Amino acid sequence: MRTASRFIIVIIFLGVVLGGIFGYKFYQFGQMQEQMSQPQPPARISATEARVEQWTPQIKAVGSIEAVNGIEIANEVPGVIESIEFESGDTVQQGDILIRLNAEIDEAALRT
Count of structural domains, the chain: 1
Share of the chain above pLDDT 90, in %: 21
For 65-88, give one letter per residue: b (16+ CB within 10 A) or e.
eeeeeeeeeeeeeeeeeeeeeeee
Mean pLDDT taken over the chain: 87
The answer to the question of residue 18 being in a domain is no
The answer to the question of residue 31 being in a domain is no
Which residues constitute the domain of residue 85? 81-111
Q: What is the pLDDT of residue 67?
A: 80
The answer to the question of residue 36 being in a domain is no
Q: Which of 6-10, 24-28, 47-51, 101-105 has the lowest mean pLDDT?
A: 101-105
Q: Tens digits of per-residue pLDDT, 41-89?
A: 888 888 889 899 888 888 888 988 888 887 777 777 778 888 999 898 8
The answer to the question of residue 69 being in a domain is no
The answer to the question of residue 97 being in a domain is yes
The answer to the question of residue 23 being in a domain is no
The answer to the question of residue 61 being in a domain is no
The answer to the question of residue 99 being in a domain is yes
